[in-house]
Amino acid sequence: MGVHLFTLDNQFFKLGDSNERSSIQSIAKIFALSMAYSLEFRQICYSIERGIS
């Protein structure tokens, strides 16, 4: 599996087997999981700062 990345300033990067097709659903799961962890981490940090367990 590979990835293509286009930046806002029109730079192009590719990594791995980027010519192999894959479903966007597979990639979207990774982003959704990352976002969920990020949100949960922020909530934990906020709770620690406030002294809430």
Instruction: Say what the pLDDT of residue 52 is.
Output: 60
What does the domain layout of the chain look like in residue ranges?
2-50
pLDDT value of residue 53: 52
Q: What is the pLDDT of residues 3-36, one digit of tens each?
A: 777 888 989 888 877 677 767 777 788 888 788 8
pLDDT at residue 17, rounded to an integer: 76
Q: What per-residue confidence (pLDDT) applies to 2?
A: 73
Q: pLDDT per residue over 34-50, tens digit each?
A: 888 887 777 777 776 77
CB within 8 Å of 1: residues ≥ 6 apart: 16, 17, 20, 22
pLDDT of residue 32: 82
**53 to 7, 40, 43, 46: CA distances (angstroms):** 40, 14, 11, 10
